[in-house]
Amino acid sequence: MKGDRVEVVVDTGTGTARTYEIGATRAGRRVDVSTGRGMVEVAEVTRSGQPVRVGRFMAARVIALVEHPAEEQGATERRRRPRQEQEETLL
């Protein structure tokens, strides 16, 4: 979903950490995270499954992997009428 993003914090080996961010930039795309054989792969993927951007990291160097889901747009825009008005319309 557009707005989803994943942050990957990686140890650089020099005592510092570096942060990478991969996100779904367009509607219909999603971010997939997979691990296997000592690698962590974060990919922005289209609806058909084609990877658009891919980040591959050594699992031993990954300090943190944080997934940030997109905020719902409709939840904040939706407004409810006061309860009194709702009851009057039902009568």
- How far is CA 51 from its chain centroid? 15
Band the pLDDT of 2: cuts 50, 70, 90.
Answer: confident
Is residue 64 domain-resident?
Answer: yes
Alpha-carbon span 40 to 35, nearest angstrom: 4
For the entire predicted model, the pTM comes to 0.72
Domain count within the chain: 1
Q: Is 50 exceeded by the pLDDT of residue 85?
A: yes
Is residue 85 domain-resident?
Answer: no
- pLDDT of 81 reads 53
Is residue 87 domain-resident?
Answer: no
**Cβ–Cβ < 8 Å for 19, 7:** yes
Question: pLDDT tens, 18-73?
Answer: 999 999 988 889 999 999 999 999 999 999 999 999 999 999 999 999 999 887 66
The domain in which residue 22 lies consists of 5-72
- pLDDT of 78 reads 47
Q: Sign of the C-alpha dihedral, residues 19, 7, 45, 55?
A: positive
Closest CA to 26 of 56, 53, 66: 53
Band the pLDDT of 89: cuts 50, 70, 90.
Answer: low
Band the pLDDT of 7: cuts 50, 70, 90.
Answer: very high
